[in-house]
Structure formats: structure tokens, C-alpha cells
Amino acid sequence: MQIKKFLAPTLKEAIEQMKAELGGDAIILGTRVIEGDRRFNVKKMFEITAGLDKKQSKKVEPIFTHNTQAKTELELELEKLKKKVFQEKEIVKNNVASNNIVERKQLNEKEQELKELADVLIHHEVQKNIVKELINQLENYNGLVDVSKLESYLISGIASLIPSKEFNVKKNKLSKVALVGPTGVGKTTCIAKLAIISKIIHKLNVGLISIDTYRLGAIDQLRIFSEISDIEMAVAYEPGDMSKLVKKFKDKDLIFIDTIGRSQRNAENLSDIKAYLDAVNPDETILVTSATTSTRTLIDISQKFSPLNYSSVIFTKIDEAVSYGNILNFVYNSNVPVMFLTNGQVIPDDIISVNSEQLAKLIFSGKLY
């Protein structure tokens, strides 16, 4: 008897291989399911052991002894093998059905978990196109991600979309940092916090320049702070004053420039601020905006303030916001890194330096702490 094994992804394909090579007279001697090759995304393979009697192509004449038909030894053996094959077929069939049920259950669990994660992001006001991109990332892992760890993978995916930036200044090297942004977002308070941190923690010699001569009480607010903190302050009433004040502060390590709060929809006022900043060419310009602002307005702010060449952003009033999806929407559309969050008015405590992972957890959980 000629015996040979055939291997294929399905039982049907293995049988077809057997028939193609051994012919229709071949019989199945045994079957089994073996582990497939994951490099080709094949989870299981079917192996058939088949046999073909070399004399089987000839007609077997019946043998009679004392007028009684007797079965040959081969026929008896074949009947046993057929019975065994039938039993093993049933086992394979049941195993395949059981595996399919498990796979469908796992798939349903993953689909349900992904839907719930998407609903959380939408509830936290993340734009739908961003939600779709994040969920697609998880779906494309093709079974390599443990369903129980989908949330962790999602947070990592969010973090990959959020650039962050550290506030780096050096001693004995003059740096000019300007804060710009709409009215009422807390630029002056941010400057006070950063100035105190720079002076006390980083031991820097700090100076303040204000160009906010339009808002009632703005100069007095900063002047009172400068007297309490013993940080020297000066006021620029026109763009031509800026270079003179920078020369006056040439012995400083760091100069903060407090600008006028202006609506992003007033191009003329933004042009006035640009004239002040162009006179001294700041080393860093930071956009300050509120976390309570809607996504549409944030994106409009990012576009309208772009002529001021800001390179990072501070989100204020985190403690007043009900969700933080708008932060992700802002950085996704502008690709501007986040430098700080502020969560109150206390100087200098209520300011937080963050990284991408922290921001991702904040956006997903909706909880600051």
C-alpha cells in the first residue's frame, strides 16, 4: 500500500490534494489538526494520512469457499480504517465548531470594548475623525492586542497624537519669552507663576516687560506683583520702547513679556502686538488659551494668532473645564506642543508641567487628579 500525508489550511483542500495525487480510489487513514504558521496569519492546518493499494486499480474477484463469500483481509482492514476515519472526522468537526464559537465570542468582546472606548472619547468631546483614527489603530493590530488591555493601548495612541514641550531656560544667557492670547485667559497670572518659579526654583535673574497699557488696572496688577516678589518690571508704551527695555535688562537671565489680550477676530490689534514682538524677536512665544473654550474657537484662535509665531501652548482653567477632548482636537489640528496646564489662581502653585502620557490620561479619563 502506498501511504502519503497531505497538509492544507482546510480539510476540504487536503482531501482535494489527496485525490489529485492518489486518485479517487485513495482512502483516508487518519486526520489531525496541527498549529499553523502565524507569520502567514494561519492559526491551524489539517493533516490527512491517505493510502492507496497498488493492486486496487485491478478488479478484485470475489472468493467463494464452500459456496460462502469471504471478505479478504484487506477489506476487513479497510472497514476498520473507514470507521476510525469517520470517528476522527466527527472529532475534528466538533473541534472546529468549538474553535469558531470561541473566536466569534472573542471578536464580539473586542468589538463591544472598542465601541465603549469610542463612546467615552466622544463623550469627552474628541472629534469623530480623531476617534475613528484611534479605534482603527486598535482594529489593525489583527488580534495581537489583549482585549483586557485595549484601554491602555488607546491611551498610548492618544499620547502619540499629543506633542509636549519642556520650559528650558539657562542661567547667564538672556532669554526673552512672550505670552500671547485672547482676553481673559489669564496671561498675566501665568507670567507671575512662571516668574516666581524661575526665580525661586531655578535661581534665575528675572525681569518683566508689560505692553498691556490698554486694559484698566493691568499695569497696576503686574507692578504690585513685581514689588512683592522683588522682580524688576518695566512698561513699553510703543514698539520703539522694546529694544531700550531689553538693553536695560541685559543683565537678566530671563525676560517675560506680558502682551495685550486681544480677540483673534481683530486682525488690526493682533498686528499691533506683532509690531512690539518683532522689535525684540522673542526666543519663545507661548499661546495662552482657556481649556473651557470650544474646539471651533480654539482652532480659530490657533489660526488667527499664528502670525505671532507662537511655538507652544498653555491651557488655563483646567479646573473649570468639564471635559478635555478639545485639548486633543487643538493639538491634532495645529501640531503645537503643550507646555503647561493651570488649575487655579494660586501663585505659583497652580501650574502643571505635563508630558504626552499625562495629557492622554487626562483626556481619556476626564479627571485632573
Same structural domain for residues 110 and 95?
no
pLDDT at 33: 77
* pTM for this prediction: 0.68
Best mean pLDDT range from 46-50, 76-80, 357-361: 357-361
* Strands in the chain per DSSP E: 2-8, 27-35, 44-52, 63-65, 68-70, 175-180, 206-210, 232-235, 254-258, 284-290, 312-316, 338-342, 351-353
Can you tell me the distance from the alpha carbon of 261 to that of 278, in angstroms, rounded to the nearest whole number? 17
Same structural domain for residues 224 and 316?
yes
Reported as a single tens digit per residue, the pLDDT across 221-265 is 888 888 888 999 999 999 999 999 999 999 999 999 998 766 656
Same structural domain for residues 220 and 343?
yes
The answer to whether residue 167 sits within a structural domain is: no
The answer to whether residue 166 sits within a structural domain is: no
pLDDT greater than 80 at residue 79: no
Could you tell me which residue, 98 or 303, shows the higher pLDDT? 303
Same structural domain for residues 281 and 143?
no
Same structural domain for residues 340 and 192?
yes
pLDDT at 107: 54
Q: What DSSP designation does 43 have? A: -
Reported as a single tens digit per residue, the pLDDT across 81-93 is 767 666 666 666 5
Same structural domain for residues 36 and 147?
no
Same structural domain for residues 246 and 183?
yes
pLDDT at 233: 92
Q: Which domain holds residue 297?
A: 175-365
Q: Share the mean pLDDT of the chain.
A: 82
pLDDT at 65: 42
Into how many domains does the chain fold? 3
Q: Which grid cell is 126?
A: 474628541
| CA angle in degrees (0–180, nearest 5) for 221-308-234 | 30
Confidence of residue 179 (pLDDT cuts 50, 70, 90): very high
Same structural domain for residues 94 and 152?
no
Confidence of residue 354 (pLDDT cuts 50, 70, 90): confident
